[in-house]
Structure 1
Amino acid sequence: MSAEFDIAETLDVKGASCPMPVVKTKSAIDDLSEDAVLEVLATDAGSMSDIDGWASGTEGVELLDQEEGDDVYRHYVRKTE
């Protein structure tokens, strides 16, 4: 199963552990235009809760979806402002 979003950029943080997936996601989302969707590929299981918590507490971003499969966690984050 794969999310259907118009992905502007894919960020590969596979192999990185906390807090780097969130740090790199924030940096990448800052460079995108409003309404752009960032796909984040991670191998750290903690990224599921870390990116969710970061997006929930951060104005200007929205976590659209998260998927787990084949040892890769996919996160879809939209820049809202």
Structure 2
Amino acid sequence: MPVADERAALAQNIPDIDRLPDCALLTRAQLVPLLGVSLPTLKRWSSQGRGPKISRVEKLPRFRVGDVREWLAEARADA
């Protein structure tokens, strides 16, 4: 699949966090296109204690929409 087609496919799967409840959970795959970063970047941030707070569900990393919103608001304020 060409890169442009791959990006378009990913863009269609970007969750609309404005419509989701704070308690909704996102996977890394859902969060990456939302933040516009790569998966390795998100993993590095997590290992460095940066990025949105991780919640574990059956030992798998998940991100609460409320935590993502809060982190985005703080990141915008710092910019």
TM-score normalised by the chain length of structure 2 = 0.31
Query: In proportion to residue count, which structure has more helix?
Result: 2
Query: In proportion to residue count, which structure has more strand?
Result: 1
